[in-house]
Chains A and B, each alone.
Chain A
């Protein structure tokens, strides 16, 4: 029975990781860059929710999504787009710079003291099982988001164009696909998912700081690499796997202190056995 609760909690946390991991992996697959400022978009979403939740919870969610999309697309337009074709190292350093910028801005605006906001949605009592409502909402929403994203990529014109761009930018342009537009859409989707992840992560920790996005960000990045960076199903599998592992580790007192070490060790072991990640493909070298 306890194990069932651990599993549900793990899948719920994994859903959050998966949503963030999708942002990392889609941007990597399509723009061929690691967006290390992605974690800070979660923080932007978190503060937006904190700001608007006294007004109206639904408005808070909508505002967070809209604002994160604007921030994400703006960052892409002004920080990353001018560097298209530049060395990957330059882009990486820029991303780290953007991350620092966002955290500093948040500190200027909201101060460095943590903000605590209690949100209690209650718990569900099923016989001996007691599960937080927020956990169930997180799990259900993340599944809906993942299914919707899968359908979008598979069955819409823009979604298929995303796959085409991630595989071969040149050939995609020859089809008439505007690569810059597709990259913008990718950042918009990634940022919207980060906003949702910010909401659910906030429901979990209920404390807001300027480095709110750092830990889930790095965990989700780990999940994306475990699943195979660039692979959308990989990010989902990696996220859920990491969430369940974390939940199991935390539920066993003897090893709970080593949870992070165990998670990152799993990354190392998987990369040793399968360097491309669980669902990653070897890309053929092009001449």
Chain B
């Protein structure tokens, strides 16, 4: 049974971004229309060979969904925490009788919801440009929830360690976005040299993009390039590892709230 306090904080967090669609939903919607139009139609139209056996514009959809979801989940959590710290109104929460776990789950949950809504918006935009058939629905939903939660949890850490707004920009633009772009959003791992394929495996985004692509389109680069021992279970293994990572990040979040890191003197 979720407490009234938890529901109040969760509701407040959700209302904050729902009521500001010009700042929260419109930008990713417009950006992704541009991505699909420029990369998918104008440039993609000149790519004759299917990428990994899939039409290029369709191949793009999962990566862009992941990019939008994790960026927005991270941004929402980090902004909400940091802005609350900056203007000190996070004290309203901190001086309340909510448990630290309730505080974290409310912030993370709301941010994950924003990330998922943006993911759905991008998928719908993609559907306008190309027909999409979901291949592994349950797996897709589970993966999306896990990665949205994971990046919301990371956003909490970002919001707690940031010292000014520039730090948030650095995290999002200079760390998160490049990792996603090199996470096989716009290309298939199978197109890379073996050396770069190997290097790519150290990028955690590869597993997220690949899992969502597997859930949405039924195609996994990892299934094709993974060693034989993992060939059958690569997507499930990715999901399991991401879930474990999410649990670790949430535990760190609760711990940071408990010791008051960035929150108390």
A binds B: no
**Which residues of A approach B to under 8 Å, CB–CB?**
none
